[in-house]
């Protein structure tokens, strides 16, 4: 399960179309609260963008009518002993985590589908890192176990400027969000602001714009270390990433 921001903000989601659908019309923006009657959907997003936070918020809003569970725990659950799940909405968090380190990315999803089938196909929502989502292939397989034979795929969008300010206003180390944002962009690391996890990490490291590295190079080095670090234990164990310095050195060679 990915990390989340300290502050809960109202996020934006856009619908991901099938590969064969027309792109003449722009993507539709939706709210998760408007999709509570849907049989099934998948929520995609980059690491640290807030997928788990979004699921937690939605699950809590539906209280006793829903269950939140890590994908890994869902795979070992005994459907015969989970009769109460059959009439509830299941929030299955972290498809990417059970795919980490696997030689066949399809097998984890097939096991999830088997569990859903054994529960008589209750309503479900699944979160996944976008890089680990297999597109329409995954979509078609999940439609097979959807009550409606349909599946909506959503993308969690990066933070807007207003959302960035809202999070920084609640951060204990940042006294002036506007100055912090301006300083980050002046130093060329504005891209880190749009992700709640890297935003909070940057704020933790430099404080309220008072502890920025003296040089632009120092800022970039610090930013690269923030971005390169794996914060998800399941990915760290399953994927066995190389040491941070080796990863940064390899990235430097690729960009040279």
- pLDDT given at position 248: 45
Kindly state whether residue 92 falls inside one of the protein's structural domains. Answer: yes
Kindly state whether residue 185 falls inside one of the protein's structural domains. Answer: yes
Kindly state whether residue 2 falls inside one of the protein's structural domains. Answer: no
Kindly state whether residue 63 falls inside one of the protein's structural domains. Answer: yes
- Residue-wise pLDDT tens digits, 25-46: 778 899 999 999 999 999 999 9
Question: What value does the mean pLDDT of the chain take?
Answer: 85
Q: Tell me the whole-structure pTM to 2 decimals.
A: 0.82
Same domain, 147 and 199: no
In angstroms, rounded to a whole number, what is the distance separating the alpha carbons of residues 184 and 190?
5
Same domain, 151 and 168: no
Same domain, 19 and 91: yes
- pLDDT given at position 23: 67
Kindly state whether residue 117 falls inside one of the protein's structural domains. Answer: yes
Same domain, 131 and 19: yes
Model confidence at 88, pLDDT cuts 50, 70, 90, reads very high
Same domain, 168 and 124: no
Domain that holds residue 102: 13-156
Q: How many domains in the chain?
A: 2
Quick one: what percent of the chain has pLDDT higher than 90?
Answer: 61
- Residues 203/180, Cβ–Cβ less than 8 Å: yes
In angstroms, rounded to a whole number, what is the distance separating the alpha carbons of residues 128 and 137?
14
**More confident site: 238 or 91:** 91
Model confidence at 253, pLDDT cuts 50, 70, 90, reads very low
- Residue-wise pLDDT tens digits, 101-152: 888 999 999 999 999 999 999 999 999 999 999 999 999 999 999 999 999 9
Final residue before a domain boundary, out of 129, 156, 183: 156
Same domain, 80 and 134: yes
Final residue before a domain boundary, out of 139, 156, 173: 156
Same domain, 128 and 169: no
Kindly state whether residue 6 falls inside one of the protein's structural domains. Answer: no
Same domain, 190 and 251: yes
Burial (Cβ within 10 Å: 0-12, 13-18, ≥19) of residue 211:
exposed
Q: What is the CATH number of the domain that holds 130?
A: 3.40.50
Mean pLDDT for the stretch of residues 74-98: 96
- pLDDT given at position 222: 66
Kindly state whether residue 8 falls inside one of the protein's structural domains. Answer: no
User: 229 — phi, psi (to 5°)?
Assistant: -75, 135
- pLDDT given at position 212: 79
Same domain, 130 and 167: no
Model confidence at 60, pLDDT cuts 50, 70, 90, reads very high
Same domain, 62 and 91: yes
- pLDDT given at position 111: 97
- pLDDT given at position 104: 93
- pLDDT given at position 239: 56
DSSP codes joined into one string, 153-187: EEEEPPPPHHHHHHHHHT-TT-S-HHHHHHHHHHT
Same domain, 178 and 72: no
In the predicted structure, residue 24 carries a pLDDT above the cut 80: no
- pLDDT given at position 252: 45
- pLDDT given at position 223: 64
- pLDDT given at position 53: 95
Same domain, 137 and 165: no
Final residue before a domain boundary, out of 121, 156, 191: 156
């Amino acid at each position: 399960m990915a990390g989340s921001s300290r502050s809960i903000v109202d996020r934006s989601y856009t619908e991901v179309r099938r590969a064969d659908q027309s792109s003449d019309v722009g993507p539709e923006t939706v709210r998760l609260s408007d999709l509570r009657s849907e049989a099934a959907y998948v929520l995609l997003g980059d690491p640290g963008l807030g997928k788990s936070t979004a699921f937690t918020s939605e699950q809590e809003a539906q209280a006793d009518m829903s269950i939140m569970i890590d994908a890994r725990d869902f795979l070992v659950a005994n459907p015969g002993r989970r009769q109460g799940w059959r009439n509830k909405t299941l929030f299955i968090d972290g498809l990417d985590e059970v795919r980490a380190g696997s030689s066949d990315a399809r097998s984890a999803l097939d096991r999830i589908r088997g569990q859903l089938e054994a529960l008589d196909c209750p309503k479900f929502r699944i979160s996944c890192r976008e890089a680990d989502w297999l597109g329409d292939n995954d979509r078609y397989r999940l439609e097979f176990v959807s009550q409606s034979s349909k599946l909506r795929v959503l993308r969690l969008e990066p933070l807007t400027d207003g959302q960035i300010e809202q999070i920084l206003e609640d951060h204990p180390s940042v006294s002036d969000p506007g100055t912090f944002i301006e300083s980050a962009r002046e130093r060329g690391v504005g891209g880190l602001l749009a992700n709640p996890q890297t935003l909070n990490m940057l704020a933790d490291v430099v404080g309220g714009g008072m502890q920025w590295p003296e040089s632009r190079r120092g800022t970039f080095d610090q930013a690269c270390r923030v971005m390169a670090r794996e914060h998800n234990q399941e990915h760290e164990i399953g994927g066995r990433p190389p040491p941070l310095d080796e990863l940064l050195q390899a990235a430097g060679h690729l960009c040279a």
